[in-house]
């Protein structure tokens, strides 16, 4: 009997933990934390591991809170889409009150953790939550410009790490912000292309032209080109302490060209397979680019 009860308890805990990961979008949150830590390593003159832990914890809380608020607001729309109908709230496994408690608690913990680093970091974290939940989320069903608005909070993490390390916002974190800002357009439009039919069930307007057409593919190409240009600008010495060696710049440039190749393939074929390849290439690019930047500083 005790074994059966403990088995039920462990199953319940596993379900709760799984739902917590889903309401906070754990994989996305971890990738954001990775970007923040990369930015911290780039900005820090001396690595403080307590600061890294605070940044990681605060960053996860901020992203988790944003995603929880997002799923509360979109619970009825999520129920209409195949991709999201099994999320904790529309599936009935989590109440709105529970989700709101998680969101508010993570907001407070996140801002406090980031404030211990410095007030500027906490401010940018709070701005990202506000823009994501109060501007980006409502706009998704109104206009494709929502992606442009969403690119602002989405571009903050890489920059946030630098600000956390230096307590300063200047040309260096501004450059990191711009790299991740331009990257988001090909990434999210590739994702929007793949999920267009499902998004339409929820009334979301994610593609810039509203269609899976050459116009959307052309905009993806243009933003990818801007992303590549911004990504190698530090090699020219215009960006203060944020520097890039010639070798690292060539590596980053070549990785950008790979992503651009897939963008052109999407323009040519205009199918979901090409969109998926571009989306995967974009995820690889942003991670490897940040690794190259950090390695270039320390090697």
Residue partners of 183: CB distance under 8 A and separation at least 6: 227, 282, 285, 286
Please give the pLDDT value at position 8. Answer: 54
Q: Residue 1: what pLDDT?
A: 55
What is the percentage of the chain residues whose pLDDT exceeds 70? 96
pLDDT (tens digit per residue) in 100-134: 999 999 999 999 999 999 999 999 999 999 999 99
pLDDT of residue 227: 97
pLDDT of residue 127: 94
If you ran DSSP here, which 8-state letter would residue 157 be given?
A: H
What average pLDDT does this structure show over 235-241?
Answer: 94
Average pLDDT, integer, range 276-289:
96
Question: Residue 297: what pLDDT?
Answer: 94
Residue 6 has pLDDT above 60, yes or no: no
Q: How far is CA 190 from the centre of its chain?
A: 14
Q: What is the pLDDT of residue 2?
A: 54
Q: What is the mean pLDDT of residues 205-231?
A: 95
* pLDDT (0 to 100) of residue 265: 97
Cβ burial, residue 92 (10 Å; 0-12/13-18/19+): exposed
CATH level 2 (architecture), domain 13-169: Orthogonal Bundle (1.10)
CB 114 within 8 A of CB 150: no
**What is the average pLDDT across 44-69?**
95
- Does residue 3 surpass a pLDDT of 80? no
pLDDT beyond 60 at 4: no
pLDDT of residue 10: 61
Buried b (16+ CB within 10 A) or exposed e, 229-263: ebbbbbbeeebeebbbeeebbebbeebbeebbebb
pLDDT at 294: 96
- pLDDT attached to residue 12: 79
Predicted TM-score (pTM) of this structure: 0.91
Long-range pairs for 168-175 at CB < 8 Å and ≥24 separation? 168/120, 169/120, 170/240, 171/238, 171/239, 171/240, 171/242, 172/42, 172/43, 172/239, 172/240, 172/241, 172/242, 173/39, 173/43, 175/230, 175/233, 175/234, 175/239, 175/242
Residues recorded for the chain: 299
Q: What is the pLDDT of residue 9?
A: 59
Confidence of residue 159 (pLDDT cuts 50, 70, 90): very high
164-187 pLDDT, tens digit per residue, is 999 999 999 999 999 999 999 999
pLDDT at 7 over 90: no
Region 238-259 average pLDDT: 96
Angle value at C-alpha 181, between 176 and 183, nearest 5 degrees: 100
Q: Please indicate whether residue 124 or residue 8 has the higher confidence score (pLDDT).
A: 124
Query: Band of the pLDDT at 13, cuts 50, 70, 90?
Result: confident
At 15, is the pLDDT very low, low, confident or very high (cuts 50, 70, 90)? confident
Q: What pLDDT sits at residue 191?
A: 95
Mean pLDDT calculated for residue range 40-45: 95
Q: What ranges do the domains of the chain cover? A: 13-169, 171-299
């Amino acid at each position: 009997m005790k074994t059966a009860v403990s088995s039920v308890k462990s199953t319940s805990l596993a379900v709760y933990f799984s739902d917590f990961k889903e309401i906070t979008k754990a994989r996305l949150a971890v990738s954001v934390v990775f970007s923040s830590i990369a930015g911290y390593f780039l900005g820090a003159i001396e690595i403080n591991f307590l600061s890294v832990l605070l940044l990681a914890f605060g960053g996860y809380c901020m992203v988790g809170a944003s995603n929880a608020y997002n799923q509360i607001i979109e619970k009825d729309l999520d129920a209409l889409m195949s991709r999201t109908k099994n999320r904790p709230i529309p599936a009935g496994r989590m109440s709105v009150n529970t989700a709101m408690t998680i969101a508010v608690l993570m907001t407070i913990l996140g801002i406090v953790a980031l404030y211990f680093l410095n007030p500027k970091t906490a401010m940018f974290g709070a701005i990202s939550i506000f823009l994501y939940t109060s501007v980006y989320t409502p706009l998704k069903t109104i206009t494709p410009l929502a992606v442009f608005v969403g690119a602002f909070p989405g571009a903050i993490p890489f920059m946030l790490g630098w600000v956390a390390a230096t307590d300063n916002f200047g040309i260096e974190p501004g450059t990191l912000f711009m790299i991740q800002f331009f990257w988001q357009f090909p990434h999210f439009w590739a994702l929007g292309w793949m999920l267009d039919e499902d998004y339409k069930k929820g009334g979301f307007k994610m593609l810039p032209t509203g269609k899976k057409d050459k116009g959307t593919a052309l905009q993806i190409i243009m933003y990818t080109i801007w992303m590549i240009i911004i990504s190698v600008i530090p090699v020219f010495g215009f960006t203060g302490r944020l520097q890039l060696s010639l070798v690292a710049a060539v590596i980053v440039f070549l990785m950008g060209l790979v992503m651009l190749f897939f963008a052109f393939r999407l323009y040519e074929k205009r199918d979901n397979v090409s969109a998926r390849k571009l989306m995967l290439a974009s995820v690889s690019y942003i991670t490897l680019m940040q690794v190259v930047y950090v390695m270039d500083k320390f090697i």
